Amino acid sequence: MDCKTTEELICAALESGILDAEAARHVDGCDACRAFRDDVGRHDADLRAAFEPAQREAALVAERTIATLRREPLPQVRTLRFFPIAIAAAAGFLLAFLVFRPWRPPVVVDRVVDRVVDRIVEKHVPMNAGQVPEPKKRPMAKLEIATGPVQASKDGTAWTDVEVGGGCEMDTWVRCSPRTKAEFTLSDDSVVRLDAGTNCFFGKFRQFRLDVGRLYARATAGRVNFTVTTENGFVSLAKPGVVDVFHDIVHEKKVVETATEILLLGGSAKVHSDKSDLDVDSPARIVIVEDTAGAPQKLADGVMATAWIHDLLARRGESDELTDRVKTLLTSDLAKTEPELRKMGESCAKPIASWVYGNESRGCADQKRHQAVAIAADLATTRTIPDLISLLEDGDGTIRLTAAKALERLTGLTQGCSPGDWANDPASKSACDRWKAWQAENEGKRGSVK
């Protein structure tokens, strides 16, 4: 391969994240192309970093616009007043005329029924009743969520886009672009999530081969084990469990090694490498370098170790899995976990608010509850209003005040209560009652509350 072609492929690899194997070999042996690759990589990184603040700003503008839109009246659908009614009436008369045909003599009812039955039989009974239609092939996995492009290929060379809602059959390569995360569900309700830049082979049912990248799986019970294989070995779950597998190539001073990190977050699994077979119980972390698995270590914080899936959970919306993760993050050191909670955005406002007014937070320090309600207040949307109203009856004045301010931000209303009233007066029952009455009156108008 010549240098010019290699340079084109290096540039194209910035989009796909995958450099052609022949081009990679050329780069390894060509100083000029290696320098070009490093140079292009640096400029690519500079451009991405240059646009990041503007991307954040665009997202902020979107949220500010949404806040402004909530005070706008809904756009009115234009209706033509008289014309369509006249058209509909005329069509109705014509239909009645054609159905009843008043100029024809009346037909005996039995003959009418026979004719109708014949027409129904003609339409719905197949001509060759002996032929059984081919059953439709169900895909092995359905793409539920994607933060960017996801592609599939049967042979690893010709790639086609997979649309959200579309499926992947067995024996298919699937890849995510360098900034795309994706979530698939299998027909047995197992969930498979792929991190950015992941390349994975969806083999037979519940069998995956991870070429590079990271795969997170919530495996349900099944007739076959749920298995993720890499170049270093495999992890296999015979019963329901949760596992996160990371595989990559490490280059260091021309020594190339492959490594697989397995985080077992739920259930038990068998971890196999060429030199060992281990039975492991969760929570555990195992690292396999080349063909050697290290001893399993206790996994201290599985939620933060797999925080990469939070983007996908936030896009999915409220779920038990999201709620459990939020609660784990709340009960940990909030100084460390707060940024992660905030990244999840509005989808965790409800679970946080529920945690604050539920029994689980009663044993926690006041400061933690204050911090949690502040996060919920910042992230809250109209869907969180009922939970914020529940917090107005909390025994802690800071909690009541924070909830009241969030309600004011969302609705523009104070129900006649000043900040001092909420902070100091636990008996502001009439204001709470006004909020509850307002909620009951407006719930239907705000649209469906999920």
Which residues contact other proteins (rule: CB under 8 A)? 7-8, 11-12, 14-15, 39-40, 42-44, 46-51, 53-62, 64-66, 68-70, 72, 74-78, 148-149, 161, 164, 177, 179, 447
24 vs 287 by CB, closer to other proteins = 24
From CA 288, how far away is CA 278, in angstroms rounded?
12
Output the smallest distance, CB 179 to other proteins, in A.
6
Question: Quick one: 176 or 307, whose CB is closer to other proteins?
Answer: 176
CB of 340 to other proteins, least distance (A): 17
Q: What angle do CA 272, 273, 278 make, to 5 degrees?
A: 40
Extract the tokens encoding 168.
Answer: 């992947």
Nearer to other proteins, 144 or 290 (CB): 144
The answer to whether 322 and 347 are in contact (CB under 8 A) is: yes
Residues in the chain, overall count: 450
CB of 341 vs other proteins, minimal distance in Å: 17
> Residue 22 or residue 433: which is nearer to other proteins going by CB?
22
Phi-psi region of 242 (alpha: psi -120 to 50; beta: other; left: phi over 0): beta
Q: Which of 324, 138, 317 is nearest to 218 (CA)?
A: 324
The whole-angstrom separation of Cα 361 and Cα 336 is 18
Residues linked to residue 58 through DSSP beta bridges, in sequence order: none
Q: What counts of helices (H) and strands (E) characterise the chain?
A: 15, 18
Name the nearest CA neighbour of 145 among 179, 175, 181: 181
Token pair listed for 212: 């590079």
* Shortest reach from residue 165's CB to other proteins, in Å: 8
Least distance from C-beta 246 to other proteins, angstroms?
Answer: 23
| Closer residue to other proteins, CB minimum distance, 327 or 383 | 383
Residue 272's φ and ψ, nearest 5 degrees, are: -115, 135
Smaller CB separation from other proteins, 22 or 39: 39
On the CB side of 238, how many CA atoms lie within 13 Å of its CA?
7
Half-sphere exposure of residue 69: CA atoms within 13 angstroms, side-chain side: 11
CB of 51 to other proteins, least distance (A): 5
Nearest residue to 325 (alpha-carbon basis) of 48, 27, 141, 309:
309
Q: How far is the CB of 73 from other proteins (least distance, A)?
A: 9
Nearer to other proteins, 65 or 424 (CB): 65
User: Strands 276-281, 255-266: parallel, antiparallel or unpaired by DSSP?
Assistant: unpaired
Asked if 14 contacts 40 with a C-beta cutoff of 8 angstroms, the reply is yes
Residue number with CB closer to other proteins (154 or 179): 179
User: Kindly report the CA angle at 445 between 441 and 450, in degrees rounded to 5?
Assistant: 100
In angstroms, the CA 277 to CA 171 distance is: 26
Q: How far is the CB of 10 from other proteins (least distance, A)?
A: 9
Nearer Cβ to other proteins, position 395 or 447? 447
- In the complex, the smallest distance separating the C-beta of residue 177 from other proteins, rounded to whole angstroms, is 6
Contact yes or no for 396/366 (Cβ under 8 A): yes
Report how far residue 231's alpha carbon sits from residue 121's, in angstroms, rounded to the nearest whole number: 59
Q: Which is nearer to other proteins, 317 or 416 (CB)?
A: 317
Task: Compute the least distance from the CB of residue 266 to other proteins, in Å.
Answer: 30
Least Cβ distance, residue 193 to other proteins (angstroms): 18
**Residue with smaller CB distance to other proteins, 50 or 427:** 50
Between the alpha carbon of residue 173 and those of residues 147, 210, 219, the distances in Å are 18, 10, 20
Q: 347 is written with which tokens?
A: 């989808």
What token pair was written down for 229? 């294989």
